[in-house]
Amino acid sequence: MLLMNKLNIDLRKYLQQNHNQLTWKERIQIITDITLALQRIHKENAIHRDLHSGNILFKNYFGISDLRFCRPADKPLKSIYRNLPYIAPEVIIGRKQTFKSDIYSIAMLMWEISSGQPPFIDCEHDYDLAMNIVNGIRPKIVPGTPLEYKNLMKQSFHSNKSYDFHIPNNIDDFNKLSNIRNDYKIEAIQQQTMNRHIKDNDEDEAHNNPNLHSEEQDELELPD
């Protein structure tokens, strides 16, 4: 959703406050909201050009704000923005911005959502960081990141130093994130069903063995 009015909180502050409580299902929902909003921009043949966690705003959903630099894809800007960690390496070296440049920013947002902190938070946003990004340096993947999420993020990091990027040509490829979210819901249901099955077996054994006593367990809860 594109947002022009002021909402409650930006993504950066939201992650600072809620990172430790977020499930992967919730993290995937956040990036899904963002990519759906960016999809609408790209379908208008426009590029946002300045995506970062400070202009992703939340009220009942996450949406993209700050459309000052958003313009048709054939009308490039001639400036490098202050949010260096989110800028695609080809833009840093002076190439024109494309849909892929926005997707690089999405990859950095994916990393931020997984880690709870902005990329390269311990680095000065200077020439050295710019050259490191151009030379393929990327934030380290957070342990426990779902494989599909990790692969999509790495694919969008533009890590090939020859700049022959094998990445999605537009944001439509990120629709697979919805499949990841749905898979996690299915896995959660299956796991809880398995736990209930194990509990039932234990209760049967306990009923037939006076030396065993089953403990009270939570009822099956379906994910939201």
Domains, the chain, in order of start with CATH, read 9-174 (1.10.510.10)
Give the residues of the chain that fall short of pLDDT 70: 1-7, 61, 66-82, 159-175, 178, 181-224
Q: What share of the chain is helix, strand, coil (3-state, %, to 5)?
A: 50, 5, 45
**For residue 13, with 0-12 CB atoms within 10 Å meaning exposed, 13-18 middle and 19 or more buried, which class applies?**
middle
pLDDT at residue number 159: 53
pLDDT of 109: 95
**How far is Cα 28 from Cα 185, in angstroms, rounded to an integer?**
11
- Confidence (pLDDT) at 75: 42
Looking at residue 156, what is its pLDDT?
86
Q: How far apart are CA 29 and CA 197, in angstroms?
A: 29
Residues 6+ apart with CB under 8 A from 219: none
Check residue 168 and give its pLDDT: 58
Give the 3-state secondary structure of residue 172: helix
Residue 54 has a pLDDT of: 85
Write down the pLDDT at residue 170. 55
C-alpha to C-alpha distance for 102 and 99, rounded to whole angstroms: 5
Per residue in 118-162, pLDDT (tens digit) is 999 999 888 999 999 999 999 999 999 988 889 889 888 875 554
For the sheet with 9-10, list strands across it. 9-10, 56-58, 62-64
| Amino acid 117: pLDDT | 95
